[in-house]
Structure formats: C-alpha cells, structure tokens
A and B are shown apart, each in its own frame.
Chain A
Amino acid sequence: MGLKEEVISAIAKTLDVGEDELIEDKTLYDSIGVDSTEMVELTVALGKQFAVKIETDEIGKSSTPLEIVGIIENKKQS
C-alpha cells in the first residue's frame, strides 16, 4: 500500500467513515461534513501514525485528502 492509500485509509478509520465516502479532491467538509473537533482528532491521529508533527492549522475542514497526503509526504521527506 502506497502512502496515499495509507493516509486515506487512516482518515477513514479515524473519522469512522467509509473510504468510498472520501473524495480525493473534495474537501473533508464537503464530502463528509467533518467538524472542527474531528479535525483535532484527525491531526493527532495522523501525526502519531505517520510519525510526523502536524500543527492544527496545517490541515482543516477545507483540506482535501490529496492535500493531506501531500503535507504528510513533504514532512516525511524533510
């Protein structure tokens, strides 16, 4: 499984939604109606799972899954 698939799977698992509900280029708010508390949970969970430090203002309700994949990818490379 590549990083993209791993991140999308982690988002779905953390937010308790189906992977098919997440649309790669659609914001989390528009696709699954994510709220700000869920974004805090997601930020912490992704940081732990991928061993990177993600600040709460780096990803938000208006982030798409692809943007989140990009942020994690950049952090892992730097």
Chain B
Amino acid sequence: MKKILTAIFTASVIAFSSPAVFSTEEVVLTNNGGVPSLRSLVEVSDVNKAEALKKVPREQHLIDRNYVQQPPLIPHSIRGYQVNLNANKCLSCHSFKNAGAMGATKVSVTHFITREGTTLSDVSPRRYFCLQCHVTQADAKPLVDNTFIPVDSLR
C-alpha cells in the first residue's frame, strides 16, 4: 500500500512540476503580448521609474466643466485639509453657513439628499467626503486622448 502511494505521489510530482517550469518561461516571454500599455512596452514584472510628483498650484482660475454633470474641480491647493469623521475643512468655507462670509462657492443642495430621497438639514453622509468627486488639478498631460465634445446646446 505504502509503495503504491509513494509511486502515485512521485508520478504526480513529476507530472505537475515539469510542465509548470516550462510554462513559466513561456509566460515571461509573452506576458505583454507585444502590446504597449500606458506604462509603454515593458514586461509585467518590470517596475517603471516613478515620475516626479505633480505640483498642485496654490491658486488657479475657476476650471470650466467639460460636461454638464461633472463635479466642479478644486481650483486651489488643499494640502493638509482634513476631511474625516471628526472634521471637514472644505465645509469651513463651502458650507451654506460659511460660504457667504468666505466668498466661496456654496455646496449644492443636492448634497443634502440621502439615497432614499429624503432631504436633510445638512450634508448627507453619502456626500460628505468631498474629495471622492471634487479633485484638485495639476498641470499634467492626459494619459489617453479624449475626443469628447458636448452637444452644441450644452456647450
């Protein structure tokens, strides 16, 4: 019995290991399929050199929206602004209460609506984390070309 088990074990080891070694080599040779990706034509296992971090300008002009429903972009630096369970620095200026005095854009009332459609007296929890949609912009080249043009009436 023991002999048979040993034989089966040995056979299976040979059966599984040898093709595995062979196929790994093959994968390494063809893993990008010769198709350049956003990282250009490099092997999957290669690590690209990191690009220099883009600087966010301290202030810039209001950035136009590219399409109607686009969340407006943040035209200023937000370094060190805390947005978490305890505090929301964005709302220090952009809340309904503070926007007037601070000369900032008011948060839209659509942000007071919960996903059930109830309008609350303040920002709804699902819209609380501003930076999920509103982001700063740096002077970076687009990675992919985009030919989108809005219809004439909405331009």
- Determine if chain A interacts with chain B: no
